[in-house]
């Protein structure tokens, strides 16, 4: 029977694996939920970035068309230019344009839609220098600068002017769009408490929006994508999706705070962790209950086995031996009355011993042999006398082995010997039998050998109740029992166990 420690280990291992499986499932669900939160938020940001990129592309294209139209009108007739600007006013207002101006080749303003009188040169402005140095006809969008005419921060969108005859640089046509006007476009898009939407140039310069320290992307990179970054200005971690405009060197960045992205994940994580903790507590409670029930059943089985062993190996065997003796006495009453009378007296004495054993059994107190002589006498009384005399039993008992036995061991050895000798008398058809008890290397060995018929193969496999009891008592002694053939005929029952006090 498994020990209590092994039983506890098996249940703890089983429920431990169940707990590991529970937390592995929770970890898998959390991982899947985490990835799903990132993927879902990224899909929403991509859609927003694509929509805004299309809007900005359309807006810049509308401004560029107006710039080209006005440039043609300027080159055709400067007198009618103001009327042309007025005709474009409706389109420009939709794109939040606040100023239309023209400079000459030296940067001086030669036309302004604003009512203020043109003053000063704009030759020092970056957008002017870029257009003048380029020599190519291209649209340039500046980062926000403080306007000398508009007196406010604005993004300057310019096209170069060229002399029709020499094709040399002749100035720029510029319109101004304030960044706050661009931000108004984004205000209805809720990206959460730490969300941000940024419009940036190809070189990373931010035109509108905040919250992104470096909005530059590698040249020739994908048109759209996702990344994760910590803003050095506010220290907030954000997930970003970006989309480049199809016609102009601008990129829309849509950022979302990590707390917003993981809000649903955090809620599910709290629920799953709470459920996992509750499940673990339930598993612990079930494991404790199962261990308690198993140990209770184990104690019940051990107690039942003890009762069976004690009854079978003491009282039942003794009563069986007395019964055989009485049967032999009945046959001797006519032939040898004196011998029959002596056997009846022995039977009475043995019955008194059985009564004492029963009383000790009911009281739950084992009655081990009181001395070595009593121990040997008990072993000899284990062999009932038969009508034909039965097998001749010899004893080879080492006194050191007897002295090495404690009271509990002596009781087990006595009952193992009684069972083995009883089996020989009842079943072996043996002429002789020998029982030996020896002490070698702090191990005590009991051997019971006969020259009888031996144990048939089915019995060797099943061992029977008596031999099962011998093995059970050997385990209680901390040793082992074996049943084997004893050449040339007969059977050997051997029990070996360590000496202890």
Each residue of 285-294: pLDDT tens digit? Answer: 888 888 888 7
**Extents of the domains making up the chain:** 4-59+183-261, 97-177, 305-498
Q: Strand pairing of 432-440 and 392-397?
A: parallel
Q: Of the spans 76-90, 175-189, 310-324, which averages the highest pLDDT?
A: 76-90
**Which option is the CATH number for 4-59+183-261: 3.30.930.10, 3.30.450.20, 3.40.50.880, 3.50.50.60?**
3.30.450.20
pLDDT of residue 396: 87
Weakest-pLDDT range from 217-231, 290-304, 334-348, 438-452: 334-348
Q: How many CB atoms lie within 10 A of CB 7?
A: 17
Q: In 195-262, which ranges are continuous DSSP H helix?
A: 258-261
pLDDT of residue 290: 81
Q: What is the pLDDT of residues 377-412, one digit of tens each?
A: 777 666 655 545 568 888 888 888 888 888 788 888
More confident call, 454 vs 24:
24
Instruction: State both tokens at 137.
Output: 């006809």
pLDDT of residue 174: 93
pLDDT of residue 461: 44
Residue 252 has pLDDT above 50, yes or no: yes
Weakest-pLDDT range from 6-10, 359-363, 484-488: 359-363
Among candidates 311, 306, 312, which has minimal Cα distance to 420?
312
CB of 313 closer than 8 Å to CB of 419: yes
Strand order in the sheet with 432-440: 392-397, 432-440, 443-450, 491-498, 480-485
Q: How confident is the model at residue 465 (pLDDT cuts 50, 70, 90)?
A: low
**Ramachandran area for residue 194 (φ above 0: left; ψ -120 to 50: alpha; else beta):** alpha
Greatest distance between any 2 Cα atoms in the chain: 164
Instruction: State both tokens at 142.
Output: 């500046």
The pTM of this model reads 0.58
Residue 307 has pLDDT above 80, yes or no: no
pLDDT of residue 429: 82
Residue 310 has pLDDT above 70, yes or no: no
**Which option is the CATH number for 97-177: 3.30.70.520, 3.30.2350.10, 2.40.40.20, 3.30.450.20?**
3.30.450.20
Weakest-pLDDT range from 10-19, 43-52, 235-244: 10-19
pLDDT of residue 447: 92
Percent of the chain having pLDDT more than 70?
A: 81
More confident call, 184 vs 127:
127
Q: Strand pairing of 169-177 and 153-162?
A: antiparallel
pLDDT of residue 96: 81
Q: What is the pLDDT of residues 157-208, one digit of tens each?
A: 999 999 888 889 999 999 988 876 566 667 678 888 888 888 888 887 888 7
Whole-number Å distance between alpha carbons of 270 and 266: 6
Residue 462 has pLDDT above 50, yes or no: no
Q: How confident is the model at residue 364 (pLDDT cuts 50, 70, 90)?
A: low
Q: What is the overall mean pLDDT for the chain?
A: 81
Segment 209-229 shows an average pLDDT of 71
pLDDT of residue 311: 67
Please tell me if the domain spanning 4-59+183-261 has the same topology as the one spanning 97-177: yes
pLDDT of residue 460: 46
Q: What is the pLDDT of residues 267-286, one digit of tens each?
A: 999 999 999 999 889 888 88
Any residues with CB less than 8 A from the CB of 103 and at least 6 apart, and which? 109, 110, 122, 128, 171, 172, 174
Residue 25 has pLDDT above 90, yes or no: yes
Residue 459 has pLDDT above 50, yes or no: no
Q: How confident is the model at residue 94 (pLDDT cuts 50, 70, 90)?
A: confident
Weakest-pLDDT range from 63-77, 112-126, 228-242, 477-491: 112-126
Residue 9 has pLDDT above 80, yes or no: no
pLDDT of residue 201: 85
Segment 230-248 shows an average pLDDT of 87
pLDDT of residue 218: 58
The C-alpha angle 235, 237, 240, rounded to 5 degrees, equals: 130
Any residues with CB less than 8 A from the CB of 235 and at least 6 apart, and which? none
**Ramachandran area for residue 118 (φ above 0: left; ψ -120 to 50: alpha; else beta):** beta
Q: Alpha-carbon dihedral of residues 382, 388, 389, 390, nearest 10 degrees?
A: -50
Residue 421 has pLDDT above 50, yes or no: yes
More confident call, 219 vs 449:
449
Residue 152, helix vs strand vs coil: coil
Cis upstream peptide for 488 (omega within 30°): yes
Q: Which fold has domain 305-498?
A: Heat Shock Protein 90 (3.30.565)
Residue 255, helix vs strand vs coil: strand
pLDDT of residue 216: 60
Residue 472 has pLDDT above 90, yes or no: no
pLDDT of residue 35: 94
Segment 467-486 shows an average pLDDT of 84
């Amino acid at each position: 029977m498994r020990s209590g420690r092994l039983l506890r280990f098996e249940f703890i291992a089983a429920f431990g694996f169940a707990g590991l499986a529970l937390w592995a499932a929770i970890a898998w669900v959390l991982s899947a939920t985490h990835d799903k939160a990132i993927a879902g938020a990224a899909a929403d940001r991509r859609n927003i970035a694509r929509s805004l990129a299309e809007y900005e592309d359309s807006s810049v294209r509308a401004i560029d068309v107006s710039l080209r139209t006005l440039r043609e009108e300027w080159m055709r007739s400067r007198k009618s230019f103001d009327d042309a600007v007025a005709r474009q006013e409706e389109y420009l207002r939709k794109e939040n344009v606040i100023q239309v101006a023209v400079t000459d080749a030296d940067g001086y303003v030669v036309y302004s839609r604003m009512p203020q009188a043109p003053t000063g040169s704009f030759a020092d402005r970056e957008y002017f220098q870029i257009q003048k140095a380029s020599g190519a006809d291209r649209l340039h969008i500046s980062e926000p600068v403080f306007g000398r005419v508009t007196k406010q921060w604005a993004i300057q969108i310019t096209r170069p002017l060229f002399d029709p005859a020499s094709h040399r640089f002749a100035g720029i046509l510029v319109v101004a769009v304030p960044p706050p006007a661009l931000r108004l476009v984004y205000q209805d898009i809720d990206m959460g408490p730490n969300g941000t939407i940024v419009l940036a140039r190809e070189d990373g310069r931010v035109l509108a929006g905040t919250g992104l320290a470096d909005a530059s992307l590698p040249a020739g990179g994908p048109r759209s994508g996702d990344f994760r970054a910590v803003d050095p200005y506010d220290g907030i971690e954000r997930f970003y999706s970006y989309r480049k405009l199809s016609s102009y060197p601008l990129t829309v960045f849509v950022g979302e705070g990590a707390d917003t992205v993981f809000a649903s994940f955090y809620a599910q994580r709290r629920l799953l962790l709470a459920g996992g903790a509750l499940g673990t507590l339930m598993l612990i409670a079930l494991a404790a209950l199962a261990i308690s029930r198993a140990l209770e059943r184990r104690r019940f089985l051990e107690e039942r086995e003890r009762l069976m062993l004690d009854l079978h190996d003491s009282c039942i065997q003794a009563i069986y031996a007395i019964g055989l003796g009485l049967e032999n006495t009945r046959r001797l009453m006519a032939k040898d009355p004196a011998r029959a009378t002596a056997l009846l007296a022995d039977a009475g004495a043995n019955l008194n011993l059985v009564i004492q054993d029963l009383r000790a059994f009911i009281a739950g107190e084992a009655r081990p042999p009181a001395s070595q002589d009593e121990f040997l006498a008990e072993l000899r009384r284990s062999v009932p006398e038969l009508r034909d005399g039965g097998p001749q039993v010899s004893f080879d008992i080492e006194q050191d082995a007897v002295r090495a036995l404690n009271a509990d061991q002596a009781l087990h050895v006595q009952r193992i010997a009684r069972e083995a000798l009883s089996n020989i008398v009842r079943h072996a058809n043996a002429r002789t039998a020998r029982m030996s008890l020896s002490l070698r290397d702090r191990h005590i060995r009991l051997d019971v050998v006969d020259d009888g018929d031996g144990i048939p193969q089915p019995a060797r496999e099943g061992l029977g109740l008596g031999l099962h009891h011998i093995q059970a008592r050997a385990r209680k002694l901390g040793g082992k029992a074996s049943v084997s053939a004893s050449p040339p005929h007969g059977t050997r029952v051997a029990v070996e166990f360590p000496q202890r006090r």
